[in-house]
Amino acid sequence: MKKKILGGTGIKMTEMTLGALTMGPLQAKLSLEEAKKVILAALDKGINSIDTAEMYGMDGPIKAALAEYSGEVILASKSTATSYSEMEKSVLGALSGLGRDYLDIFYLHAAKVTPEVFQERSGAFQCLLDYKSKGVIRAVGIATHVVSVIEKAAEVNEIDVVFPLINKRGVGIVGGTAANMVKAIEIASQNGKGVVAMKSLAGGNLLGEIKAAFSFVRNIEGITSVAVGMSHVDEVEVNFRLFKDEDIPESELERLKSTKQLFVARFCTGCGTCVKACPNEALAVIEGMVVVDKNKCILCGYCNPICPEFALRLV
């Protein structure tokens, strides 16, 4: 698989990054052994980059897979921490959880924030910069769904990498269209930032048009790598072949189509806790019960563990 240098970081990444969210407790809930198999399948294909986050709960399987793999692997993680001490705990936790003495990229996990995030979370940001100075983190970034945050990050000297949500239909993009995000990405790249793309398949919503969806993101100027969430070795195989530009018959792609949906159980109390947790404004309480807007939901799974009634299920 093609490798490119990520902006000004010197980090050489494959065009595809393995996204860990889909394997973990927020989504497919794979066992450690099952997840390890998927991770090793991706690494064996030559994918050299893995993206995870503190909230994905995937450090254990990644560490276990790395123990059985001798090649170089680019590791990225992220945290929603706001203060210096919280972020320090996240960084140290990731190092120990992943079994590494350094991390290639550490992002401010900032799905739905405003451009003021750099001031509002200045302690957390400073912590990442300090750990970069110590050589523990190679590159500091921000992961977000918001167009104006990418625009702001493009101007922040200390940001090395941006990790925007982008897909051809613009599903999940906050504060703009796909075209607006593409423009923001181009400016960030021109300003020397590395760019890794997320949600190119909109959490599985674009599996029915997977070739066009990948092609759209792969052709955006400035993107070095596309993080693709996978939870089965068959997905690794097919996605790898698509990124090698193999012409895969539609019939073979059919079996990848997602049957995943977010269900709301009848015992939802309408408390609204999950509404605030959704980064994409896909939930609303209507007549005492939460309702999912399928056009906005990217099946990220951030909402279901938050429900105090266990009324949300991503299945």
* Least distance (Å) between residue 26 CB and ligand SF4: 9
Q: Select 95 or 198, whichever has its Cβ closest to ligand SF4.
A: 198
Nearest-10 Cα torsion for 40, 200, 5, 70: 0
Binding site for ligand SF4 (CB under 6 A): 262, 264, 268-274, 278, 280, 282-283, 285, 290, 292, 297-303, 307, 309, 311-312
* Least distance (Å) between residue 15 CB and ligand SF4: 26
| Residue among 204, 105, 116, 193 nearest 152 (CA) | 116
* Least distance (Å) between residue 189 CB and ligand SF4: 27
* Least distance (Å) between residue 154 CB and ligand SF4: 25
3-state SS class at 5: strand
Q: Select 103 or 292, whichever has its Cβ closest to ligand SF4.
A: 292
* Least distance (Å) between residue 17 CB and ligand SF4: 20
Q: Select 166 or 264, whichever has its Cβ closest to ligand SF4.
A: 264
Question: In this structure, which amino acid lies at residue 232?
Answer: H
Strand partners for 290: 285
Tokens of 264: 């709301």
Cα 132 to Cα 130: distance, rounded to the nearest angstrom? 5
Cα 93 to Cα 31: distance, rounded to the nearest angstrom? 21
Cα 109 to Cα 117: distance, rounded to the nearest angstrom? 10
Q: Select 60 or 270, whichever has its Cβ closest to ligand SF4.
A: 270
Tokens of 156: 């922040």
Q: Select 187 or 289, whichever has its Cβ closest to ligand SF4.
A: 289
Tokens of 253: 């792609």
